[in-house]
Amino acid sequence: MARPPAVLSIDFECFTHLPAYRNARGKTDQRDVGLDVVDSLLTLFEDHDAAATFFVVSEIAERHPERIVRIADTSHEIASHTHRHRHLSALDERERRDELATSRIVLEDTTGERVTGFRAPSFDTASDHFSMLAAAGYEYDASVAPCQSIPGWYGGEHNVDRPCPATRLDPDAPAGIAELPVGVMPRLRLPLTGTWLRFFGPRYTILGMRLLARRGIAPVLYVHPWELVDLPPVAGVPKRVYWHTGAWMRRALRRILEQPFEFVTARTVVEDATAFDAKGGSRAGDTTASIDDGTGGR
């Protein structure tokens, strides 16, 4: 039997891009903490025949274009995680437009390939998000964590569990923009990865992946390069940021990749869902997640 699809996305940012670092009273003089993990990540993915999507903070591509080219030269997808990793809702309209447009231009110039996907830092977006994305030339968004409301974090806003047209989330969204929500644990409705993987362990994440696959949903996971390295101590950065980073997280990621899933890019899942929808969802025996227009399948 074919392995069900899953998406492993890498929010490609440095430790110093974290809001928790920017808001801390301390500083580190180590630059680009996390980026050195690229080569071992690419080897790990190759060992497991996995394709991943790298949502890249594009100012990194300006400073280290060779790293981004190395990723793009494999089977992986390069997508955008803004230019500077600022919370979009804290920016004015001109700044938001600039974050989205500059990022796509920089990443396309660096890789020579089209960039169609986007994820907002901290899943934080403004009310004009989808029209901004369309104007900047993106085709899909991956900035929705359809989890329960977590005070001080995010969540509680959307109730979609699989790829869908963005109009499902915002009636004013332009046609042609799709949403790919990140995976959350059924019923519990907490994300399967990020802090939740580091707190609850890989068994929790793997159980969630299985439960979603059983529902015909491709689980969408996300990890950060800085989670995979030993972080420098910085006064004021909360302990939760450090918890189970480094070797623990590298082992957890390996265990997830060993599971019987086919790890494909985010764009692949969005395109498969769109094609499925265009055919009226009639492919016999296909368990791939479809674009859910809200009329069924839940």
Using the rule CB under 5 A, is 59 a contact of Zn ion?
no
Q: Which stretch binds Zn ion (CB under 5 A): 5-13, 40-48, 101-109, 161-169?
A: 5-13
Using the rule CB under 5 A, is 121 a contact of Zn ion?
yes
Nearer to Zn ion (CB atom), residue 143 or residue 290: 143
Minimal distance, residue 11 CB to Zn ion, in Å: 4
Minimal distance, residue 145 CB to Zn ion, in Å: 12
Please give the Cα distance from 19 to 82 (Å, whole number): 14
Minimal distance, residue 9 CB to Zn ion, in Å: 11
Of 184-213, which residues contact Zn ion (CB under 5 A)? none
Three-class HEC string of 8-23: EEEEECCHHHCHHHHC
Nearer to Zn ion (CB atom), residue 76 or residue 168: 76
Identity of residue 123 = F
Q: Which stretch binds Zn ion (CB under 5 A): 7-15, 33-41, 126-134, 259-267?
A: 7-15
Minimal distance, residue 81 CB to Zn ion, in Å: 6
Of 156-185, which residues contact Zn ion (CB under 5 A)? none
Q: Report how far Cα 216 is from the mean position of its chain's Cα atoms.
A: 19
296 neighbors 39 (Cβ within 8 angstroms): no
Of 9-28, which residues contact Zn ion (CB under 5 A)? 11, 13
Q: CA 70 → CA 13, 233, 252, 283, distances in Å?
A: 16, 30, 24, 36
Nearer to Zn ion (CB atom), residue 229 or residue 273: 229
Site string for Zn ion, 81-120 (x = CB under 5 A): ----------------------------------------
Q: Which of 36, 24, 131, 122 is nearest to 82 (CA)?
A: 122
Nearer to Zn ion (CB atom), residue 11 or residue 161: 11
Minimal distance, residue 224 CB to Zn ion, in Å: 7
Q: Which stretch binds Zn ion (CB under 5 A): 4-12, 62-70, 89-97, 128-136?
A: 4-12
Nearer to Zn ion (CB atom), residue 11 or residue 59: 11
Size of the site for Zn ion (CB under 5 A): 3
Nearer to Zn ion (CB atom), residue 13 or residue 108: 13
Residues pairing with 41 in the sheet: none
Nearer to Zn ion (CB atom), residue 13 or residue 99: 13
Please give the Cα distance from 290 to 270 (Å, whole number): 8
Give the contacts of 214 (CB within 8 A, at least 6 positions apart). Answer: none
Alpha helices by DSSP H, listed for 16-136, are 19-22, 38-47, 58-63, 65-72, 93-111, 129-135
DSSP 8-state assignment for residue 96? H
Q: Which residues bind Zn ion (CB under 5 A)?
A: 11, 13, 121
